[in-house]
């Protein structure tokens, strides 16, 4: 058994570019979808050309040309989709239904990893409006995959460090607070924080692994299961400075949703589920799931005190 050939759809995005890099590093023949809709987006084009220099193949296909998608899919064994599902960037999760259709027609794909990489949508049936749209759409894509009997792996990558760690989980900024920090409730609810490069490394590890076939893989390395308070303590230890802490209770936090724009309301709802409800850690991983750091103990994942050092 050689290593699977991989097609990355959405390869120039925040997660996608890391998936391309990890796929090449782990020795997979790697294809990246190049969409003619690129137009004059020079940054995307230059990133695609840099992938080519690193040994990836660019394959031209468009979501508005079904046959081109089928032809692209036929080149590979594994398809990984990393199209954006966040509302403050571009949100196009349901475009994946066309990709599912192409995979079904091509008939050769051994594994499909749809655009997930967040909390497990199967556990978010109770999620608040309007943020629940993300989970509902991911479940629509899952249903299409499973109805078509396409072999899959779903990756639940929890909180991306770039969005949740450098800012000590403060909303509306990506940088650490300088003097004051807001705690969600008592700040003791546990979440899981992941370096995005590690997300990509674990993702590529799963694609040829029979243990992850038709399973959800949770990225939950033990030392990165932390409360917001623990995250703040790591920062305070690094800087040698105490932050002034205030707390916002559940009711006031939810009330602050009023008056936000749509993308803001979606984001606030997701923060609520993570930091008040504990939706990333309030369940045991069951029969349909695996935990990545247990499967791949050889991965030396980034701990969050290490991650924070660059912000000091």
The two structure tokens encoding residue 264: 């803001």
Residue 118 confidence (pLDDT): 95
Q: Summarize pLDDT for 74-110 with one digit per residue, the tens.
A: 999 999 999 987 666 667 899 999 999 999 999 999 9
Q: What are the pLDDT digits (tens) for 35-69? A: 998 889 999 999 999 999 999 999 999 999 999 99
Q: What is the pLDDT of residues 285-304, one digit of tens each?
A: 999 999 999 999 999 999 99
Residues 144-185: tens digit of each pLDDT: 999 999 999 999 999 999 999 999 999 999 999 999 999 999
In the prediction, which pLDDT does 87 show? Answer: 63
Please report the DSSP string for 7-69 in residue order.
EEETTTSTTHHHHHHHHHHTT--EEEEE-GGGTT-HHHHHHHHHHHHTTPEEEE--TT-HHHH
| Token code pair at residue 21 | 């890099």
Looking at residue 37, its pLDDT comes to: 86
Q: Is 190 tagged catalytic?
A: no
Residue 115 has pLDDT above 70, yes or no: yes
Closest C-alpha among 30, 77, 84, 87 to residue 57: 30
Among 138, 190, 234, 309, the one annotated catalytic: 138
The whole-angstrom separation of Cα 217 and Cα 207 is 11
How many C-beta neighbours within 10 Å does residue 146 have?
12
Of 191, 218, 144, nearest to 304 by C-alpha is: 191
**pLDDT for the residue numbered 2:** 86
Reported pTM? 0.97
Would you state the structure tokens that stand for residue 136, as one six-digit string? 């509902």
Whether the pLDDT of residue 130 is over 90: the answer is yes
How large is the average pLDDT for residues 14-23?
98
Q: What is the pLDDT of residues 231-285, one digit of tens each?
A: 999 999 999 999 999 999 999 999 999 989 999 999 999 999 999 999 999 999 9
């Amino acid at each position: 058994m050689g290593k699977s050939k991989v097609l990355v759809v959405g390869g120039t995005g925040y997660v996608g570019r890391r998936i391309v890099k990890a796929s090449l590093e782990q020795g997979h023949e790697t294809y990246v979808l190049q969409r003619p809709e690129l137009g004059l987006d020079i940054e995307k084009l230059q990133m695609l050309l840099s992938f080519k220099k690193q040994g990836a193949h660019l394959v031209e296909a468009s979501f508005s040309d079904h046959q081109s998608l089928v032809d692209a899919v036929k080149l590979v064994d594994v398809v990984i989709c990393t199209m954006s599902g966040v509302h403050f960037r571009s949100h196009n999760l349901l475009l994946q239904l066309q990709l599912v259709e192409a995979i079904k027609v091509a008939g050769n794909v051994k594994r499909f990893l749809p655009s997930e990489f967040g909390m497990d949508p199967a556990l978010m049936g109770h999620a608040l409006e309007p943020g629940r749209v993300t989970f509902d759409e991911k479940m629509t894509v899952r249903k299409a995959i499973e109805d078509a009997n396409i072999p899959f792996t779903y990756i639940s990558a929890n909180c991306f460090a770039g969005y949740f760690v450098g800012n000590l989980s403060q909303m509306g900024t990506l940088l650490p607070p300088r003097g004051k920090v807001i705690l969600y409730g008592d700040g003791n609810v546990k979440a899981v924080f992941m370096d995005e490069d590690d997300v990509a490394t674990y993702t590529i590890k799963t694609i040829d692994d029979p243990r992850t076939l038709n399973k959800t893989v949770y990225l939950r390395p033990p030392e990165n299961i932390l409360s917001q308070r623990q995250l703040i303590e790591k920062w305070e230890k690094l800087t040698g400075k105490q932050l002034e802490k205030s707390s916002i209770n559940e009711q006031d936090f939810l009330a602050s949703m009023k008056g936000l724009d749509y993308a803001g309301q979606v984001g606030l709802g997701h923060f609520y589920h993570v930091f008040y409800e504990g939706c990333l850690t309030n369940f045991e991983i069951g029969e349909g799931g695996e935990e990545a750091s247990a499967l791949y103990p050889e991965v030396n994942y980034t701990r969050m005190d290490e991650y924070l050092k660059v912000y000091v």
